[in-house]
Amino acid sequence: MYAGKKYAVASLVDKCVLWLKEGVGIDNVCSILQQAHVFDEHDLQRKCLEFIMDNGSSVLKHSSFRNLSSDCVEMVIRQDELWTEEEVVYEAMKDWAGNECARKNIQPSAENIRQTLGGLVNLIRFSVMDGKYFADRVAVDNLLTADQKVSFLRHFLSSGSLNNMEYIQTKRTSRFQEKQRVIRFPGSGGILSVGSTKLAIDFRCSKDVLLCGIVIYGGMQYFGMRMRQDYVPFAFVSDTEIQLLDESKRTIVSMKRQMTITEEELLEVLFDDPVVLKMKWYTITLVISTPGLTRSGENGERVVNLGDGQSVEFRDSSLSSSDTNVLIGQIPDLLLCRRR
């Protein structure tokens, strides 16, 4: 592209742009975005940004993100439709600033990282982060002033709005339409004991779809405990592992998260990035490591009709314990989405 621009060979530039558009992926989208920015190739730049918005977490976690210029970093982080959690944005920005410090041969101290970030720090949506993550990670990194940390911590404690602050206070949206739930069970009348046991279900869609996550059942106590006058709603924290496997049992998605399993009936778990599923069999596996009790579905549907000729078929998985199958158990819903 450089040679085509330098010698004004439009046909060469066009061929380079077309080749780059067709080859955009996680490993190269940042370098292509940088080249598109340098050479004012706006269509290619838009193509890269669309890819990044749909694959936000994977791109931000990739080492190539650290090599972007500050202009391109701002271009990415400004996107309201960036599909990622704000904790991922924060870690990526901190890594990028640390890499910039190394490039400039200066110490990656909190002060130098803050100066390197400059106005970019205002694009991080601290107020929508998990409060525990903010207290454990952000507050101790000292990238924010003492007054800013106090304001955010008060916000997390009171769930009130932040006044007179320059930070964006709304969650990012996405380029995907509202999620559609594939509901396996009419209700959750049972109780299931968890703790390092693998729970799984196989499923197949009648059309190609985008899978953006799953739903798991929340915690549960026995009826006698819940009827006590001194009963206090409970929750337990657990390392949770979720995997999506193809029909050859190869891993497509593998997520490990520390989750708070509350008594809320349904808990959404979104993938880092949506996954395109073909009309083949797939397996979702779930491991909740901490021993405890959760709700359990009953009278599960073998086929769930979604309308417009679309359906999802379920079958028992050979990877699952007897506690979860088509008729009973965990993983009550799949979360599908569509691009706008």
- The answer to whether residue 165 is domain-embedded is no
Same domain (yes/no): 235, 150? no
User: Do residues 305 and 265 share a domain?
Assistant: yes
- Tell me, yes or no, whether 206 and 121 share the same domain: no
167 within some domain: no
pLDDT at 161: 61
Please state whether the predicted TM-score (pTM) of the whole model is above 0.75.
no
Give yes or no: residues 153 and 202 share one domain: no
Q: What is the CATH number of the domain that holds 117?
A: 1.25.40.420
Give pLDDT, residue 78: 95
Domain that holds residue 285: 180-337
Could you tell me if 112 and 238 lie in one domain? no
The 10s digit of each residue's pLDDT in 221-256 is 654 444 445 444 567 778 899 999 999 999 999 999
**pLDDT at site 298:** 95
Same domain? 103 vs 16: yes
Residue 92 sits in the same domain as residue 28: yes
pLDDT, position 10: 52
The pLDDT assigned to 234 comes to 61
For residues 197 and 238, membership in a common domain is answered with: yes
Residue 134 domain flag: yes
Q: Tell me, what's the pLDDT at 2?
A: 47
- In this prediction, residue 163 carries a pLDDT of 64
Q: What is the 3-state secondary structure (H, E, C) of the chain?
A: CHHHHHCCCHHHHHHHHHHHHHCCCCCCHHHHHHHHHHCCCHHHHHHHHHHHHHCHHHHHHCHHHHHCCHHHHHHHHCCCCCCCCHHHHHHHHHHHHHHHHHHCCCCCCHHHHHHHHHHHHHHCCHHHCCHHHHHHHHHHHCCCCHHHHHHHHHHHHHCCCCCCCCCCCCCCCCCECCCEEEECCCEEEEEEEECCCEEEEEEEECCCEEEEEEEEECECCCHHHHCCCCCCCCEEEEEEEEEEECCCCCEEEEEEEEEEEECCCEEEEEEEEEEEECCCEEEEEEEECCCEEEEEEECCCCEEEEECCEEEEEECCCCCCCCCCCCCECCCEEEEECEC
Verify that 328 and 192 share a domain, yes or no: yes
**Which pLDDT belongs to residue 34?**
95
Number of domains in the chain: 2
Question: Quick one: pLDDT at residue 237?
Answer: 77
Residues of the chain with pLDDT under 50: 1-9, 12, 223-228, 230-232
* Inside any domain, residue 272: yes
